[in-house]
A and B are shown apart, each in its own frame.
Chain A
Amino acid sequence: MTPVEETLKRIQSHKGVIGTMVVNAEGIPIRTTLDNSTTVQYAGLLHHLTMKAKSTVRDIDPQNDLTFLRIRSKKHEIMVAPDKEYLLIVIQNPCE
Chain B
Amino acid sequence: MLPASAKAPHKQPHKQSISIGRGTRKRDEDSGTEVGEGTDEWAQSKATVRPPDQLELTDAELKEEFTRILTANNPHAPQNIVRYSFKEGTYKPIGFVNQLAVHYTQVGNLIPKDSDEGRRQHYRDELVAVSYQGSQESVKVISETGDLEEDEEPKELETEPGSQTDVPAAGAGEKVTEEELMTPKQPKERKLTNQFNFSERASQTYNNPVRDRECQTEPPPRTNFSATANQWEIYDAYVEELEKQEKTKEKEKAKTPVAKKSGKMAIRKLTSMESQTDDLIKLSQAAKIMERMVNQNTYDDIAQDFKYYDDAADEYRDQVGTLLPLWKFQNDKAKRLSVTALCWNPKYRDLFAVGYGSYDFMKQSRGMLLLYSLKNPSFPEYMFGSNSGVMCLDIHVDHPYLVAVGHYDGNVAIYNLKKPHSQPSFCSSAKSGKHSDPVWQVKWQKDDMDQNLNFFSVSSDGRIVSWTLVKRKLVHVDVIKLKVEGSTTEVPEGLQLHPVGCGTAFDFHKEIDYMFLVGTEEGKIYKCSKSYSSQFLDTYDAHNTSVDTVSWNPYHTKVFMSCSSDWTVKIWDHTIKTPMFIYDLNSAVGDVAWAPYSSTVFAAVTTDGKAHIFDLAINKYEAICNQPVAAKKNRLTHVQFNLIHPIIIVGDDRGHIISLKLSPNLRKMPKEKKGQEVQKGPAVEIAKLDKLLNLVREVKIKT
Contacts and interface: CB of A to CB of B under 8 A. Distances in A.
Contacts of B232: 55, 58-59, 62
Contacts of B235: 58, 62-63
B298 A14 contact: yes
Contacts of A58: 230-232, 235
A82 to B, nearest CB: 7
B286 A79 contact: no
Nearest to A83: B286
Given A55-B232, A62-B232, A92-B297, A10 B286 contact: no
Contacts of A53: none
B267 interface: no
A44 interface: no
A55 B289 contact: no
B294 to A, nearest CB: 5
B283 A83 contact: yes
Given A55-B232, A58-B230, A62-B232, A4 B293 contact: no
Interface in B286-306: 286-291, 293-295, 297-298, 300
A62 B231 contact: yes
Interface residues of B, number: 28
Contact of B293 (A7, A79, A85): A79
B378 interface: yes
B106 interface: no
B280 A22 contact: yes
Contacts of A92: 294, 297-298
A44 B661 CA distance: 44
Interface string A2-25: 111101101100111100001010
Nearest to B281: A4
A45 to B, nearest CB: 18
A41 to B, nearest CB: 20
A26 to B, nearest CB: 13
Contacts of B199: none
A3 B540 CA distance: 51
Nearest to B293: A79
B294 A82 contact: no
Nearest to A12: B294
B391 to A, nearest CB: 28
A10 B231 contact: no
Interface string B387-414: 0000000000000000000000000000
Contact of A67 (B287, B289, B295): B289
Contacts of B379: 7, 10
A68 B289 contact: yes
A88 interface: yes
A14 B280 contact: no
A77 B283 CA distance: 21
Given A14-B378, A55-B230, A30 B294 contact: no
Given A7-B287, A10-B291, A68-B289, A2 B280 contact: yes
B277 interface: yes
B376 to A, nearest CB: 10
Contact of A77 (B285, B295, B297): B297
A91 B280 CA distance: 19
A40 to B, nearest CB: 18
Given A7-B284, A59-B230, A70 B293 contact: yes
B222 interface: no
B615 to A, nearest CB: 38
B280 A11 contact: no
B310 to A, nearest CB: 24
Nearest to B235: A62
B511 interface: no
B87 interface: no
A5 to B, nearest CB: 6
Nearest to B287: A7
Select the residue from B282, B285, B290, B379 with max chain A CB neighbours within 10 A: B290
B279 A30 contact: yes
Contacts of A59: 230-232
B380 to A, nearest CB: 11
Contact of A5 (B230, B280, B286, B295): B280
A11 B281 contact: no
6 contacts: A2-B281, A15-B298, A22-B283, A55-B232, A62-B236, A83-B283
Given A55-B232, A62-B236, A92-B297, 11 more contacts: A7-B284, A8-B280, A14-B298, A59-B232, A62-B232, A81-B290, A83-B286, A86-B279, A86-B282, A86-B286, A94-B298
